[in-house]
Copies of this chain bind each other. A is one copy, B any other.
Amino acid sequence: MDLITELTILALAAFVGFEVISKVPNTLHTPLMSATNAIHGIVLLGGMLIIAESEGVLSKVLLVIAIAFGTINVIGGFLVTDRMLEMFKKRPKPAEKPGAEE
């Protein structure tokens, strides 16, 4: 893939992100922030992709750290989000009245 194809994908994905997120009600801002935190943990893939071809102890150590960081992001992010949302779920009547946005 060349840069322009990547830009194409980037632009479209950014639009998707804007559209999806712009509907979020206030109540869910904090869980959402933490869920997106989990998603950018995807950088973990970056570490996995290059660790084999990287030479030298320093590089490998740094990449193990990067992978660990990414994993913290992913697992921690999803767990924390789930914990928060679990509390919302406990409520008798979960339907949200779409207060602020729109």
Chain A residues engaging chain B, CB cutoff 8 angstroms: 1, 5, 8-9, 12-13, 15-16, 19-20, 23, 102
Give Cα distance in the complex from A40 to B8, angstroms. 19
Interface of A is mostly: helix
Number of identical protomers: 2
The answer to whether B12 and A1 touch across the interface, beta carbons within 8 angstroms, is: no
A5 contacts which chain B residues (CB < 8 A)? Answer: 1, 5
Specify the chain B residue showing the minimal Cβ separation from A18. B19
What is the distance, in angstroms, from A74's C-beta to the closest C-beta of chain B?
A: 22
A23 contacts which chain B residues (CB < 8 A)? Answer: 102
Give Cα distance in the complex from A12 to B7, angstroms. 13
A19 contacts which chain B residues (CB < 8 A)? Answer: 15-16, 19-20
